[in-house]
C-alpha cells in the first residue's frame, strides 16, 4: 500500500485518560468485558453447533453474528489493554492499517448480516408454513457469504484511500484505536475525492442496510397487525424483538457518529459512543439473543449436565 506521507512510521493513541489510577480501573473493566465477550459468544456458538434443536436458519445467523462479534472485539480490546498498562501508546503504521482494515471489514459485514437477519425474521412471520423451504441452508449460506464479501471489499477500498492521505498534522490519534474520523482529522491537502468515496461507502454499508431493515420491519408490522388475537401478535413480535434491540443499539451508535455534519464532531464524546459498539455491544449480543430464549436455555442446561 502506498503511503500518502512516508515520514509517518507510527501513530500515538491518546486513549481515554493519562491518570494512572483511572488507567488501571479501565484495564480491569475492559479485561472483564473482553473475557465475558469471549466466553458468551464462544458458548453460544458451541450450543448452536451441538444442539440439533438450534439447527434452524435463525440460529445459523445468530451463530455467525457471535463469530463476528468475537473477532470484532478482538480487533480492539487487546490493544486497549496494552495501552492502559503500558507507557508506550504507539501503534506502527502497518499495525494501524491492519486494525483499520479488519475493524471496517467486520463492522461492514455485521451491517449486512443484520439486514439478512431482518429478512429472515420477515419470512418467519409472514410465511411460517413455508419458512424452512424459503430460508434454505443454501440461501442462508449465500447471505452470510455475501455479507463477509461485501464488508471486506468495501473495507479494502476505504483502507487504501485513507492511508494514501497525507498525514501532515502529526501522528497523534485522539482516540483509543485507529478510527476513520481521527485519521481524517490528521490528513491535509485536497480531500474532495476522498469525501465522495466516504459518503458512497457510508450509503452502501450503513444507509442501504438500514433501509432494508426498516422495509423488512414495515412488512413485519403489517403482517402482525393482520393477526386477530392479542396473544398471536405478542408471539409474532417476540420472534423479532431480540433482533430489533440488537439493530437499534448497533446502528444507533454508528449513525450517531458517522452520519452527523462535520461541524458537530466531538472526538471526546465520540470515544464513549464508539466504545459501546466496539467493545460493549459484542458482549451484549449473545445475552440479547439468549436470556429470553427458551431453546438456548435448554441447550445450555443440557450442555452443563
| Of the candidate ranges 1-5, 24-28, 126-130, 186-190, the one whose mean pLDDT is the lowest | 1-5
For 83, the 3-state DSSP assignment is helix
What is the DSSP-derived secondary structure letter of residue 188? Answer: B
**What order do you get walking across the sheet with 172-173 strand by strand?**
90-92, 10-13, 172-173
The per-residue pLDDT for range 186-235, each reduced to its tens digit, is 877 666 667 777 777 777 788 888 889 989 889 888 888 888 887 878 87
As a CATH number, domain 10-304 is: 1.20.1070.10
What span, in angstroms and rounded, lies between the C-alpha atoms of 281 and 303?
Answer: 25
pLDDT at 4 over 70: no
Cell (9 digits) for 111:
451491517
What is the DSSP-derived secondary structure letter of residue 54? Answer: G
For 96, the 3-state DSSP assignment is helix
What confidence tier does 41 reach under pLDDT thresholds 50, 70, 90?
A: very high
Region of 166 (left: φ > 0; alpha: ψ -120 to 50; beta: rest) is: beta
For 227, the 3-state DSSP assignment is coil
Q: Helix 294-304 vs helix 281-290: angle between axes, to the nearest 10 degrees?
A: 100
Cell (9 digits) for 55:
439447527
Q: Decide: 231 and 133 in contact? Cβ < 8 Å.
A: no
Strand 10-13 versus strand 90-92 pairing type: antiparallel
What span, in angstroms and rounded, lies between the C-alpha atoms of 173 and 186?
Answer: 8
What confidence tier does 269 reach under pLDDT thresholds 50, 70, 90?
A: low
Q: How far is CA 166 from the centre of its chain?
A: 28
Could you tell me the residue ranges of all domains in the chain?
10-304
The per-residue pLDDT for range 65-119, each reduced to its tens digit, is 999 999 999 998 898 888 888 888 888 889 999 999 999 999 999 999 999 999 9
The partner residues of 166 in beta bridges, in order of sequence, read: 188
Amino acid at each position: 500500500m502506498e503511503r500518502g506521507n512516508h515520514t509517518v512510521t507510527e501513530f500515538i493513541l491518546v486513549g481515554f485518560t493519562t491518570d494512572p489510577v483511572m488507567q488501571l480501573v479501565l484495564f480491569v473493566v475492559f479485561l472483564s468485558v473482553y473475557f465475558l465477550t469471549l466466553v458468551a459468544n464462544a458458548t453460544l456458538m458451541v450450543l448452536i453447533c451441538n444442539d440439533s434443536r438450534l439447527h434452524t436458519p435463525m440460529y445459523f445467523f445468530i451463530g455467525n453474528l457471535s463469530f463476528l462479534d468475537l473477532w470484532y472485539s478482538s480487533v480492539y480490546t487487546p490493544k486497549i489493554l496494552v495501552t492502559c498498562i503500558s507507557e508506550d501508546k504507539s501503534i506502527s503504521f502497518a499495525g494501524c492499517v491492519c486494525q483499520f482494515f479488519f475493524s471496517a471489514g467486520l463492522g461492514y459485514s455485521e451491517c449486512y448480516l443484520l439486514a439478512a437477519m431482518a429478512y429472515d425474521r420477515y419470512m418467519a412471520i409472514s410465511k411460517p408454513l413455508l419458512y424452512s423451504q424459503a430460508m434454505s441452508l443454501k440461501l442462508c449460506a449465500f447471505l452470510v457469504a455475501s455479507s463477509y464479501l461485501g464488508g471486506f471489499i468495501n473495507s479494502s477500498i476505504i483502507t487504501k484511500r485513507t492511508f494514501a492521505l497525507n498525514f501532515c498534522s502529526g501522528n497523534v490519534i485522539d482516540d483509543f484505536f485507529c478510527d476513520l474520523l481521527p485519521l481524517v482529522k490528521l490528513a491535509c491537502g485536497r480531500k474532495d475525492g476522498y469525501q465522495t468515496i466516504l459518503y458512497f461507502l457510508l450509503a452502501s454499508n450503513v444507509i442501504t442496510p438500514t433501509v432494508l431493515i426498516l422495509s423488512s420491519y414495515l412488512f413485519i408490522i403489517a403482517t402482525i397487525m393482520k393477526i386477530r388475537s392479542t396473544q398471536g401478535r405478542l408471539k409474532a413480535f417476540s420472534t423479532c424483538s431480540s433482533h430489533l434491540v440488537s439493530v437499534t443499539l448497533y446502528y444507533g451508535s454508528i449513525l450517531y457518529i458517522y452520519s452527523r455534519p462535520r461541524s458537530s464532531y466531538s472526538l471526546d464524546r465520540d470515544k464513549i459512543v464508539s466504545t459501546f459498539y466496539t467493545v460493549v455491544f459484542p458482549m451484549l449480543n449473545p445475552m440479547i439473543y439468549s436470556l429470553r430464549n427458551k431453546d438456548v436455555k435448554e441447550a445450555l442446561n443440557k450442555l452443563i449436565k
